[in-house]
Homo-oligomer: A and B are copies of this chain.
Amino acid sequence: MTQVKENSTIQENKKLAHEECPVTYVMEKIGGYWKPIILFHLLAGSKRYGELRKSIPGITEKMLIQHLKQLEADDLVIRIAKPVVPPHVTYSLSKSGTALGPVLYAMAVWAVKDSKENNKPFFKDLEGFPPIGKQV
């Protein structure tokens, strides 16, 4: 008698997972491709929307603000809009967001080392790092 596999419980398991695995908790908040990149670019201090866009040339405007909104909703970044025209909006890391500094910094360190060992160093060095705690 052929048994039915229980993939059906996966959805329920997934809901419980973030209560057990810390990294799962992190992924629920900053999982995906863009969020860590955006956060990294805010690590050096607050930036205006346009600055952020220029410093991440690979992202589309849609993705950028979509993720900024999400990050704001998750209390990782803070949005401050001056009521002027043309608009003036700055984004910065919240307390939670700032606390991700060590994670992002560890990533940067790994990237530099790993790319070197693969004979593809893309970054001379982490000049000016760590910017952690330098919060503007």
**Chain A contact residues, CB within 8 Å of chain B:** 7, 9-10, 13-14, 16-27, 29, 31-34, 36-37, 40-41, 56-61, 96, 99-100, 102-104, 106-115, 117, 122-123, 126
When the two chains form their complex, are residues A36 and B23 in contact, meaning their CB atoms are under 8 A apart?
A: yes
A82 CB to nearest chain B CB (Å): 25
Please determine whether B33 and A37 come into contact, CB atoms closer than 8 angstroms: no
Smallest Cβ-Cβ distance to A31: which chain B residue: B33
State the main secondary structure of chain A at its contact with B.
helix
Complex interface: chain B residues within 8 A of A31 (CB): 32-33, 36
Q: Which of B25, B56, B108 contacts A22 (CB 8 A)?
A: B108
Residues of the B chain whose Cβ atoms lie less than 8 Å from the Cβ of A25: 111, 114-115, 122
Whole-angstrom CA separation of A18 from B20 in the bound complex: 33
Interface centre among A108, A109, A110 (most CB of B within 10 A): A110
